[in-house]
A and B are shown apart, each in its own frame.
Chain A
Amino acid sequence: MSIYGVNRGEQAFPEKSLEDIMTSEPIISTHNLNLWYNDTHALQSISMDISKNQVTALIGPSGCGKSTLLRCFNRLNDLIDCVKIRGEILLDNENIHAAGTDVVMLRKKVGMVFQKPNPFPKSVYENVAYGPRVHGIKNKGNLDGIVEQSLRDAALWEEVRDRLHDSALGLSGGQQQRLCIARTLAVEPKVILMDEPCSALDPIATAKIEKLIDALKQDYTVIIVTHNMQQAARVSNYTGFMYLGKLIEFGQTNQIFENPREDLTENYITGRFG
């Protein structure tokens, strides 16, 4: 049945099809990725492609490994002694575990926003300028430009332009989280990882972050971990469902939430377990 040229079961406003994405160059690929915390096999044979300039959501019950997987993409798990990783993670076709990988540069390319807003106890300006300074930009004019652009991109500029030199800790929770996003954008990453970015925020601040995520995909690739399935459905183009360390199902978000292929996914998203 055709309504305005759209067949039932297809998206009215289709993104690229999964096949297109899978045949196009992914920005991040994992191949047979395994991770252990001591004897606990926390990630089991994860193989997936993360598409460029798309939002990918990872969902699953607590302890399923979604945050662990997210932290693999910028090697944040390296900071945990008992972690052992096998398998391959490619960022722009380069293995991020290869000898000689500059982890600082990796984390510049793959920025991260955490569950609770964690601005530095400095001014709004200094929070955003910190990263570029670490990477060698000293010129005040350049820094001013980066700070303004990053705050604009994080949809925060209009709210803080008159208080750039006030403490960031005086901002509201939602503003602090957008400041953290601006801080991430200031070093021009390719990928932004978000680990439950809205779980400490009220619904209005959450809506602003979600709108921002949608805007960010024009220039960045976003990977978001969320326990909020409605949020995953709203903001993402692709969704991966994880369970007990395995990637059970990965596909276009509308397919996952309307007609999942796997019973486990179905049972999770309909609230029958988890």
Chain B
Amino acid sequence: MSDKFHTELNRLKQDTTEMVQFARDMLSESLNALFNQDTAQALQVYAKKKQIREVTIALEDRSYQLIALYQPMAKDMRLIACTLKMITAAERIGRYGKDIADMVKDLQDQPDFTQKLPMPHMADLVLGMIDDAIVAYKTENLDPIKNFTSRDDTVDALWLSILREMLTFMMENPKTITRSAYYIMVARYLERSGDHACKMAENIHYMITGEWIEIE
């Protein structure tokens, strides 16, 4: 197969790494905007939704073109298969960021109790998992993703903890219902983003080894 193919494949991988980073930053910036009540930053994140969609379509198109033109095999095929899954997962993560950013304006006048929640800690864990998935994909190294099962268990536990806490707030004081309901959604988005990071890790494992694992 031609050098041109491998040059194109390397470029696809490089651009996909940047795209996943872009989506990760959307999530991270939206959480900053939420925790700091920064509507300006929230607007900036929200404005990126068009860009993430365009990049997703462009990268998918390039992947399909490489398949159609070169019929890649073995690790080249696995790299493209993994890339397509990474793109899909990253787009979802970016769109969760957009959805969180969209909530910030609605929470302007609502009583705040963020400091009481483990949400920033949960965000750090999830963003850390996405960061490590990016490193593993970029360097084709399994080490950064090897403990994803236990990290995901922690994220799941935090999601349930936040859910229960929010229910308590809502039962105690109906004025907190709006913010609590939104926070339940944010916690759920973070939990789902953690799951997407796990899916990325499963696909990266397949890309590197050719073997499937399940991160539960």
Contacts and interface: CB of A to CB of B under 8 A. Distances in A.
Q: Do A and B come from one complex?
A: yes
Interface residues of A, number: 17
Contact of A270 (B1, B210, B214): B1
A258 B74 contact: yes
A144 B125 CA distance: 77
B214 A1 contact: yes
B211 A269 contact: no
Contacts of B74: 257-260, 265-266, 269-270
B69 interface: no
A258 B80 CA distance: 12
B210 A258 contact: yes
A259 B1 contact: no
Interface string A225-240: 0000110010000000
Interface in A249-274: 257-260, 265-266, 269-272
A8 interface: yes
B10 interface: no
Q: Which 5 A-B pairs have the closest CB atoms?
A: A271-B1, A259-B210, A8-B212, A269-B73, A9-B212
5 contacts: A9-B212, A258-B78, A259-B78, A270-B73, A271-B5
A233 B210 contact: no
* Size class of the B contact interface (CB-based, 8 Å): 10 to 19
Contacts of B5: 271
A229 B77 CA distance: 14
A270 B77 CA distance: 9
Contacts of A258: 73-74, 77-78, 210
B2 interface: yes
Best-buried of A9, A229, A259, A260 by chain B (most CB within 10 Å): A259
A129 to B, nearest CB: 41
B53 interface: no
Given A1-B214, A258-B210, A259-B210, A270 B72 contact: yes
Interface in B48-80: 70-78
A10 to B, nearest CB: 9
Contacts of B214: 1, 8
Nearest to B3: A271
B200 to A, nearest CB: 15
A8 B77 CA distance: 16
A266 B78 CA distance: 12
Contacts of B1: 270-272
B73 A259 contact: no
B20 to A, nearest CB: 22
Given A259-B211, A270-B74, 17 more contacts: A8-B212, A9-B212, A229-B73, A230-B71, A257-B73, A258-B77, A258-B78, A266-B74, A269-B74, A270-B1, A270-B73, A270-B75, A270-B76, A271-B2, A271-B76, A272-B1, A272-B6
A258 B70 CA distance: 15
B73 A233 contact: yes
A230 B69 CA distance: 12
A229 B78 CA distance: 17
Contacts of B72: 270
Nearest to A269: B73
Contacts of B78: 258-259
A220 B42 CA distance: 67
Interface string B71-99: 11111111000000000000000000000
Interface string A1-28: 1000001110000000000000000000
